[in-house]
Amino acid sequence: MSTHKVSFLPHNKTIEVRDGENLIRAAMEAGVHINASCGGEGVCGKCRVIVEAGGVGNGISERLSQEDIDKGYRLACKAIVREDVVIRVPTESVIDTGVLNMQSTPRRTAPIREFDLEKLKEEGLFLPPVKKVYLELPEPDSQDHLPDVTRLVSFLKLEHDQHRLIVDLPVIRKIPDVLREDNFRVTATLARPVRKDGQTHIINVQPGNTSDRNYAIAIDIGTTTVYGQLIDLVSGEVLGEYGDFNGQISYGEDVISRIMFAEKGDGLEKLHTVVVETINKIINKIQKKAGIDRDDISAITLAGNTTMTQLFLRVNPRYIRRAPYVPAATLYPPVRASRLGLAVADHINALVYPQISSYVGGDIVAGVMGSGLYRTEHLTLFMDIGTNAEIVVGNRDWMACAACSAGPAFEGGGIEFGMRAARGAIEDFSIDPFSLEPMNITIGNVRPKGICGSGLIIMVATMFEMGIINNSGKYNRELDTPRIRERNGVWEYVLAWQDDSQIDRDVVLTEIDIENLIRAKGAIYSGCQTLLEEVGLTMNDLDRIYLAGGFGSYVDLEKAMVIGLLPEMDTEKITFIGNASLLGARMSSLTNQIRRDVVEVTHMMTNFELSETPSYMDHYVASLFLPHTDLNAFPKLKERLEIRNKMRN
């Protein structure tokens, strides 16, 4: 079979592929990212590329205008390689990893005291699951023939009150040489038991005194991004953090697309491999930046949603998306990290957070544990907003949880110019009330190329309060401005003209975009209403709300209430807790208390399947307006709108 060269610009990467290969698969093999929100089904139109030389078969879609086609644009997921070709990936498809690691400040943060480091120390709970013990052992002689392992274990029992010790075979293999490397001065790494009456495992031995060098890795495996932290288990401090885009996004941006990919051929193996590569890249970054030896890392804890967890563990996820939506497992045993392909020493076990259901996963359990929700007496609503929104309500006495499919709007999916939070994404916005001209604030203060989720909320809320759109999300076509126009039968507002943008077309917000946002926020708000109703509560009964996730940390609370994403309440009751999944993974590295409590907590959490709850659809339909059909639930907004209408009349 003949082969062809495919060159990708501006990456300057060239790959040789077989005749008839799909262009987006060629990009995957070359390590070039092209947005593919729909997983290659051809329905999102995000995988636009420009054919600069040569040609491809197909690639033309109704998602492309004739003007786009004439400029050489094609959809990569539909294009077939038939000859040598040069492809340019436009700026809107370029991943900007740097933005993930910017030290930016969320709009409002507050410390979580239920389970932070200082409180752990105050309560005597700063007991990491692994510890190091330095030993100076007596050397064997003609009167002392104790075996090396017996010598080590006996000394630990006698001098350090360690009992029920287990030494695994890989450690036994190391002990003879390690003991003699520094004249029987040695450091043993001990894995504490989860139960107080359990067995302690000796998992590593090192020559000399390395007891002050004991570290752990915490990993959040997100659908879009993966974050890692390096934790000093002696001080409890975070020594380094790094985030990167999950390599799986090239195979589909949502969990359903990835499950479908995993069902095909070696898809499961590929998805496992690329996420492990992402995790290893993060481990290498934070380890090298901190300047520590890999052998001094003693533990790794990982948390992810149910699909991400099963893909990471190479467990078939196909039944997650099929009724009755059953995961393979909720609890996973510790597994040797190196067997999963992780770039850590052989003695480390990977601890993976347990799941609740197919759509309430270990990331949410980690958030509940790390935030201390399960330890507080306050009635708390925990929300992690993303493609899927997970909700937990309760306190230390009881908890209920549910997941609702919000769709990808908050992460830029389903929005014509939607994008992740990267340079050039409009993140803040206002409109002059007289000229109706916009003020766009972008990440990086550069010319705009798209809209991120937090910016989208601000736009829609601002336009609604100003009367530019109505409560159905339709533009006021009576307004005298060239920015509100009809294009291809769809009304839109021009945020940035082509000459003012980074791309070769106008950046617009369409009525279809607004409709998709309304559906997304409606799913979340109605999910909260339904869950609270099922446990006999209302929004007014809540003492506080925790907003989790990278997106949640940058939401403008007032604007989120205007569109009906959040209930109207005192903003002081709402706390951003950032990456709650990573917080939980870090906290479980600092205290065995979480490892002891987590199984009990998962048993406490009652899961509700919203699709099977009759009232959910009623609440959802009522939420498909700005902010809601029941404006009385938003009294402050109602008052502002009444004042606005009086002034106009």
DSSP for 471-526 reads TTS-B-TTS--TTEEEETTEEEEEEE-GGGSSSSS-EEEEHHHHHHHHHHHHHHHH
**pLDDT for position 484:** 97
- Encode 538-548: b = buried (16+ Cβ within 10 Å), e = exposed: ebeebebbbbb
Which run of H or E residues covers position 322? none
Q: What is the distance of C-alpha 46 from the center of its chain?
A: 21
Stretch 560-565: mean pLDDT = 95
**pLDDT for position 104:** 42
Q: What is the distance of C-alpha 45 from the center of its chain?
A: 23
| Distance in angstroms (rounded) separating the CA atoms of residues 432 and 201 | 66
Q: Residue 463: pLDDT band by 50, 70, 90 thresholds?
A: very high
Cβ pair 74, 59 in contact under 8 A? yes
Using the structure block, give the residue that is written with the tokens 């990471």: 312
**pLDDT for position 364:** 96
Give start and end residues of each alpha helix (H) in 111-168. 117-122, 148-160
CATH number of 3-94: 3.10.20.30
From 107-116, 137-146, 290-299, 629-638, the region with the lowest mean pLDDT: 107-116
Share of residues in the chain with pLDDT > 90 (%): 59
Which run of H or E residues covers position 256? helix 255-262
Tell how strand 380-384 and strand 3-9 pair up.
unpaired
Asked if the domains at 129-207 and 371-408+518-648 fall in one CATH topology, the answer is: no
Using the structure block, give the residue that is written with the tokens 């002050």: 212
- Encode 416-453: b = buried (16+ Cβ within 10 Å), e = exposed: bbbbbbbbbbbbbbebeeeebebebebbeeebbbbbbb
312: closest CA among 218, 222, 250? 222
User: What CA–CA distances, in Å, run from 46 to 61, 65, 71, 413?
Assistant: 12, 14, 16, 9
**pLDDT for position 28:** 73
Q: Residue 460: pLDDT band by 50, 70, 90 thresholds?
A: very high
Task: For residue 80, give the 3-state DSSP assignment.
Answer: strand
Q: What is the distance of C-alpha 97 from the center of its chain?
A: 14
From 122-126, 218-222, 545-549, the region with the lowest mean pLDDT: 122-126
Stretch 489-501: mean pLDDT = 93
pLDDT > 80? residue 146: yes
| Distance in angstroms (rounded) separating the CA atoms of residues 521 and 516 | 9
411: closest CA among 428, 433, 389? 389
Stretch 255-269: mean pLDDT = 92
Which run of H or E residues covers position 399? strand 399-405
Superfamily of domain 215-352, CATH level 4: Domain of unknown function (DUF4445) (3.30.420.480)
Share of residues in the chain with pLDDT > 70 (%): 94
The three-point CA angle 79-83-86 to 5° equals 70
DSSP readout, 540-609? GG-SEEEEESTTGGG--HHHHHHTTSS-S--GGGEEEEE-HHHHHHHHHHH-HHHHHHHHHHHHHEEEE-
Higher pLDDT, 433 or 39: 433
- SS3 breakdown of the chain: % helix, strand, coil, rounded to 5? 35, 25, 40
pLDDT > 80? residue 543: yes
352: closest CA among 116, 588, 604? 588
Average pLDDT over all residues of the chain: 89
Give the domain ranges of the chain.
Answer: 3-94, 129-207, 215-352, 371-408+518-648, 411-513
Task: For residue 373, give the 3-state DSSP assignment.
Answer: helix
Q: Does domain 129-207 have CATH number 3.10.20.880?
A: yes
| Distance in angstroms (rounded) separating the CA atoms of residues 435 and 418 | 25
Cβ pair 539, 628 in contact under 8 A? no
CATH number of 371-408+518-648: 3.30.420
| Distance in angstroms (rounded) separating the CA atoms of residues 462 and 556 | 11
136: closest CA among 183, 89, 168, 192? 183
Q: Please return the burial class of 197, using the count of CB atoms within 10 Å of its CB with bins 0-12, 13-18 and 19+.
A: exposed
Q: Is the dihedral of CA 524, 529, 535, 538 positive or negative?
A: positive
454: closest CA among 581, 340, 585, 550? 550
| Distance in angstroms (rounded) separating the CA atoms of residues 420 and 459 | 16
**pLDDT for position 188:** 95
How does pLDDT run across 372-403, given as a tens digit for each residue?
999 999 999 999 987 678 999 999 999 999 99
**pLDDT for position 445:** 81
Q: How many residues does the chain have?
A: 649
How does pLDDT run across 189-240, given as a tens digit for each residue?
999 988 777 889 999 999 999 999 999 999 999 988 899 999 999 999 999 9
pLDDT > 80? residue 162: no
Contacts of 262 (CB under 8 A, 6+ apart): 268, 271, 311, 316, 317, 318
**pLDDT for position 105:** 42
Q: Residue 94: pLDDT band by 50, 70, 90 thresholds?
A: low
Stretch 469-480: mean pLDDT = 95
- Strand extents, DSSP E, 117-184: 130-136, 165-167
User: What CA–CA distances, in Å, run from 303 to 232, 370, 553?
Assistant: 19, 11, 19
